[in-house]
Amino acid sequence: MKESPVMEWFEHDDFWEMTYPFMFPETRIEKAEEDILSVLSLCGIEKGDVLDLCCGPGRFSIPLARMGYSVTGVDATDFLLNIARNRASIENVEVEWIKEDMRRFLRSRSYDLVMNMFTSFGYFQDHSDNMIVLENVNESLRQGGKFVIEVMGKETLASIFQPVTDTETDEGLLLIQRHTIESGWNRIANDWLLIDNDSVLGRWKFSHWVYSAAELKNMLQEAGFSNLEVYGNLEGSPYNSESGRLVAVATAG
């Protein structure tokens, strides 16, 4: 794993804290309850040990624990892990919360399901670092265990791409996003500006990989997975020109 001398964008808690209202509005947190049922049905999992890798505020970990699964939530951001811990304690559910980088977390043959949801993959500049994540997931799953990964697919991004977008919360926070496609469609660069009335609260420039269905499948195969399937949403619709998301389901080898 390549250590960077400067902090990477995803290592800044203030990025996740300031953009929280856009990434994790209450409606998205509530929708996760329904989504988790779709994930379980897509993978044919009815009980067992689940790793929510890059769990954020516990959108999926908490309802899973409520349903009786034994859940480990791993994330690198204290701010989000604290929200997850508080929510779990209010709901009186047990989740094992671990602060760790997704490249480092490895627990051999311990899980029946690993989930990596809502574009939590492809953050590392070096392709080999992203591969380490997939190899660790394969090793952390029991033989035959399932991995679900959900991202914005390259095909979808190409069909909806806009160089500038803006989003406003009901409270009047405005997020302006500029997007540039980089390195021959391998990566997307983002420039986010967060404004509250007349004040700029923050500006973040960051980039990450975007994968086509074929690229993601190839990486999963290279990491040791088999039975690779891709879908256009968590309900299992085909991945095609109408798809909003790219969901891959793979079996640990």
Q: Which residues bind ligand SAM (CB under 6 A)?
A: 10, 16, 23, 54-56, 59, 75-77, 80, 101-102, 117-120, 123
Cβ proximity of 122 and 133 under 8 Å: no
d(CA 179, CA 97): 33
Token pair, residue 91, equals 């709901």
> Which of 118/209 has CB closer to ligand SAM?
118
Q: What is the Cα–Cα distance from 202 to 225, expressed in whole angstroms?
A: 40
Task: For the CB of residue 194, give the shortest distance to ligand SAM in the complex, in Å.
Answer: 16
CB of 169 to ligand SAM, least distance (A): 17
Interatomic CA distance for residues 102 and 208, integer angstroms: 15
Determine the residue with CB nearest ligand SAM: 56
For residue 192, the cross-strand partners are: 177, 204
Nearer to ligand SAM among residue 77 and residue 212 (C-beta)? 77
Maximum distance among all Cα pairs of the chain, rounded to whole angstroms: 55
Task: Compute the C-alpha angle 41/93/233, nearest 5°.
Answer: 25
Give least dist CB 71 to ligand SAM, A. Answer: 13
Q: Would you say 131 or 221 has its CB closer to ligand SAM?
A: 131
Nearer to ligand SAM, 71 or 80 (CB): 80
CB of 23 to ligand SAM, least distance (A): 6
